[in-house]
């Protein structure tokens, strides 16, 4: 029986509620497929600040580094919003990313057929389906480049620098190609090579790495065009690899066209063999915390990504995704994915989690 060590960071707000349901689903998958998941629950975010004075205690990072994967709920909340930047719960996320060397952020945007009516695009576009994964570079580019203020032609100016090195581009490109290989073998690299030098280097390197993946079809798209094509013909996209800033914006756009934030999972990966971190895209939703209203499906779908990407358990990951699809097809809805006119009353976090367990084949 294979055993996997998972560091659990329930965090704040709805985090503990959605992580609790995800663990029930993982345990049920483990029982069916002969694996065991050993959890070690650790503090990060606001609850860690309250208990230890730090958003990311050293012991938490150590446990995460020694685990096979990390499952995070969400951190933050109104209570801590008044604290200075270095003591904000969200600091824990930056510390986890750098401490675990997570440089690739994977965000799937999938339109579940049962939720097609929630898609803000035209029905004929939604009918073609949406199933795209954004691979966003997470530790470089303008968000981490040289920045400052200086005197310029028009007075005081602020500046930020976009710079990408060959090694940085190679490793994120490989994540994109490897993922495309497991899917429809189509990779779109998004850049702005008609204007930016950093994008021209990006494109050169991606083309070079493509030679290692002759079975994957590569195309390039300028970021402005990509933002249009995503709403014009989203079904054409499979895997998109792009920079930190372009990925930040485009992955939110892609998420939005698939419906509720409560449905969006994510993975952050570092070098192969190192623990990845899996979390829903949403935050701690303090407005509904503790009320059994949160949709746990984003976190449950994040565990499917964990099984597939960190543990190589493809069949088990498929089983979770199939169960979620079956539950949605049955008409069960938490309040966030319920449309006006839906017949059934909304169900709570716990009922939704248990339905997924029941639908596991
Ligand atoms: P949010 O994602 O927490 O909430 C936005 C809206 O979506 C709210 O109305 C909320 O009720 C709803 N929502 C979110 N998740 C839901 C779910 N699973 N089911 C049903 N409805 C859901 O974003 P926010 O309000 O901007 O941020 C709240 C706190 O979370 C802030 O402190 C913020 O910094 C933090 N945050 C944390 C993370 C993270 O931990 N990764 C990410 C984003 C925001």
5 and 97 housed in the same domain: yes
CA 285 to mean position of chain CA atoms: 17
Tens of pLDDT, residues 299-355:
999 999 999 999 999 999 999 999 999 999 999 999 999 887 787 899 999 999 999
Cα–Cα distance list, 101 to 25, 41, 43, 269, 334 (Å): 28, 21, 19, 8, 35
What residues are annotated to the active site?
143, 192, 224, 248, 252
124 and 251 housed in the same domain: yes
Tens of pLDDT, residues 267-276:
999 999 999 9
CB 100 within 8 A of CB 77: no
100 and 211 housed in the same domain: no
| Percent over 70 (pLDDT), the chain | 100
Atom 40, ligand 1: residue with shortest CA distance:
74
| 51 Cα–ligand 1 center, Å | 22
Q: For the chain, give the number of residues.
A: 361
Count of H-run helices and E-run strands, the chain:
12, 12
Asked whether the predicted pLDDT for residue 20 surpasses 90, the reply is yes
Give residue 123's pLDDT: 93
Cα–Cα distance list, 43 to 49, 53, 54, 197, 233 (Å): 9, 11, 10, 42, 42
128 and 242 housed in the same domain: yes
Asked whether the predicted pLDDT for residue 174 surpasses 80, the reply is yes
Tens of pLDDT, residues 147-165:
999 999 999 999 999 999 9
Strand order in the sheet with 186-191: 35-41, 2-11, 69-74, 276-280, 265-269, 104-110, 131-137, 239-242, 186-191, 217-222
Mean pLDDT of 57-76: 98
40 and 142 housed in the same domain: no
Q: Sign (positive/negative) of CA torsion 291, 294, 296, 302?
A: negative
Mean pLDDT of 192-213: 98
Q: What angle do CA 347, 351, 354 make, to 5 degrees?
A: 150
- 23 occurs within a structural domain: yes
Residue (of 262, 79, 242) closest to 176 by Cα position: 242
Give residue 361's pLDDT: 75
End-to-end CA distance of the chain: 20
CB 138 within 8 A of CB 246: no
120 is written with which tokens?
Answer: 């803000």
Provide the domain limits for residue 129.
Answer: 120-257
Neighbours of 162 (CB within 10 A): 21
53 and 30 housed in the same domain: yes
| CATH code assigned at 47 | 3.40.718.10
| 23 Cα–ligand 1 center, Å | 20
Give residue 87's pLDDT: 87
100 and 37 housed in the same domain: yes
208 and 335 housed in the same domain: no
- 114 occurs within a structural domain: no
20 and 47 housed in the same domain: yes
38 is written with which tokens?
Answer: 């050993």
Where does the pLDDT of residue 259 fall: very low under 50, low under 70, confident under 90, or very high at 90 and above? confident
Ligand 1 — pocket residues by CB below 6 A? 14, 18, 74-77, 90, 93, 261-262, 279, 282-288, 294-295, 298, 336
Mean pLDDT of 243-260: 92
Where does the pLDDT of residue 57 fall: very low under 50, low under 70, confident under 90, or very high at 90 and above? very high
- 253 occurs within a structural domain: yes
227 and 299 housed in the same domain: no
More confident residue, 340 or 13: 13
292 and 243 housed in the same domain: no
| 3 Cα–ligand 1 center, Å | 32
| 284 Cα–ligand 1 center, Å | 5
Residue at which a domain ends, from 210, 241, 257: 257
Atom of ligand 1 nearest to the CA of 73: 40
Give residue 260's pLDDT: 81
Q: Calculate the average pLDDT of the chain.
A: 95
158 and 215 housed in the same domain: yes
- 268 occurs within a structural domain: no
Where does the pLDDT of residue 180 fall: very low under 50, low under 70, confident under 90, or very high at 90 and above? very high
Atom 34, ligand 1: residue with shortest CA distance:
76
Where does the pLDDT of residue 2 fall: very low under 50, low under 70, confident under 90, or very high at 90 and above? confident
Give residue 271's pLDDT: 93
**Test site for ligand 1: of 43, 284, 295, most ligand atoms within 8 A of the Cβ:** 284
Asked whether the predicted pLDDT for residue 135 surpasses 90, the reply is yes
Global pTM reads 0.94
Where does the pLDDT of residue 242 fall: very low under 50, low under 70, confident under 90, or very high at 90 and above? very high
Asked whether the predicted pLDDT for residue 203 surpasses 90, the reply is yes
Tens of pLDDT, residues 94-110:
999 999 999 999 999 99
Give residue 111's pLDDT: 94
Per the structure, the count of domains in the chain is 2
- 115 occurs within a structural domain: no
User: 3-state DSSP call for residue 338?
Assistant: coil
Atom of ligand 1 nearest to the CA of 11: 40
Where does the pLDDT of residue 18 fall: very low under 50, low under 70, confident under 90, or very high at 90 and above? very high
């Amino acid at each position: 029986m294979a055993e996997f060590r998972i560091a659990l960071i329930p965090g704040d707000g709805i985090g503990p509620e959605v992580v609790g349901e995800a663990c029930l689903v993982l345990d049920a998958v483990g029982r069916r497929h002969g694996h065991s998941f050993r959890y070690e629950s650790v503090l990060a975010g606001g609850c860690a600040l309250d208990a230890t004075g730090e958003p990311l205690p050293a012991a938490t990072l150590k446990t995460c580094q020694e685990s096979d994967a990390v499952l995070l709920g969400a951190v933050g909340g109104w209570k801590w919003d008044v604290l200075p930047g270095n003591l904000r719960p969200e600091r824990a996320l930056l510390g986890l990313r750098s401490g675990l060397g997570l440089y690739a952020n994977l965000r799937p945007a999938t339109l579940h057929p049962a939720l097609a009516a929630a898609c803000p695009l035209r029905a004929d576009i939604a009918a073609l389906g949406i199933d795209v994964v954004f691979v966003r570079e997470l530790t470089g580019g303008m968000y981490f480049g040289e920045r400052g203020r200086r005197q310029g032609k028009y007075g005081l100016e602020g500046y930020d620098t976009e710079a990408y090195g060959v090694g940085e581009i190679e490793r994120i490109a490989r994540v994109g190609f490897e993922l495309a290989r497991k899917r429809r073998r189509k990779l779109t690299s998004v850049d702005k090579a008609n204007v930016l030098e950093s994008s021209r280097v990006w494109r050169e390197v991606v083309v070079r790495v493509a030679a290692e993946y002759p079975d994957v079809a590569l195309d390039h798209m300028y970021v402005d065009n990509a933002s249009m094509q995503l709403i014009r013909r989203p079904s054409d996209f499979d895997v998109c690899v792009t920079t930190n800033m372009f990925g930040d914006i485009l992955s939110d756009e892609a998420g939005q066209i698939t419906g509720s934030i409560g449905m969006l999972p994510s993975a952050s990966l570092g070098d192969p063999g190192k623990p990845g971190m899996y979390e829903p895209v949403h935050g701690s939703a303090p407005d509904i915390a503790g009320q059994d209203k949160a949709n746990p499906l984003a976190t449950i779908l994040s565990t499917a990504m964990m099984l597939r990407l960190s543990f190589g358990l493809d069949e088990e990951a498929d089983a979770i995704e199939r169960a979620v699809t079956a539950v949605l097809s049955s008409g069960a809805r938490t309040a966030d994915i319920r449309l006006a006119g839906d017949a059934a009353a909304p169900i709570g976090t716990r009922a939704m989690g248990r339905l997924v367990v029941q639908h596991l084949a």
